[in-house]
Amino acid sequence: MSRGSTGSCSDASPESPAVYANNVGKPLAAVAIAIARSAEFATKVQHQALRDIAAACELQFPDEPADPNWLEEFTRIVNFHRLRWPAVLRQLDRMRRQRNDPATLGAALRCDGWPPHR
């Protein structure tokens, strides 16, 4: 496995020099926080998450492609709450299982704040 100059195993490119410009000489933790809060980083992470969430949905719901608007909303919720993959995968699995039980599907999804899969 090849690693880029940032040491990351992902295919994402490093942040632009503009992200670092105001952080020269600051402690490493402050720079990391500034990068994580940057609009550029948020855009990269969200795009990556949208692609990955779409792939996970395709595995859970192979016979029904996810609506692009639903994927955007689901990804927005995941990113807003900074959910980790175990929580996302548990929710997708829960949605898949509840699909077969229409009586519980609507009530369960309304009470936990997740958008219903369409």
Residue pLDDT tens, the chain, 118 long: 333 344 444 455 666 777 667 778 888 888 888 777 777 777 777 666 888 999 999 988 888 888 999 999 988 888 888 788 888 888 888 888 877 776 665 555 555 555 555 5
Q: Own/partner pairs for 4-7, CB < 8 Å, 24+ apart?
A: none
DSSP designation for 82: T
Phi, psi of 40 (to 5 degrees): -60, -45
State whether residue 64 is helix, strand or coil. Answer: coil
Question: What pLDDT sits at residue 97?
Answer: 80
Single pTM value for the model: 0.51
What is the rounded CA–CA span in Å between residue 31 and residue 89? 31
Question: Where in the chain are the domains?
Answer: 17-112
Phi, psi of 85 (to 5 degrees): -55, -40
pLDDT tens by residue, 39-61:
777 777 766 688 899 999 998 88
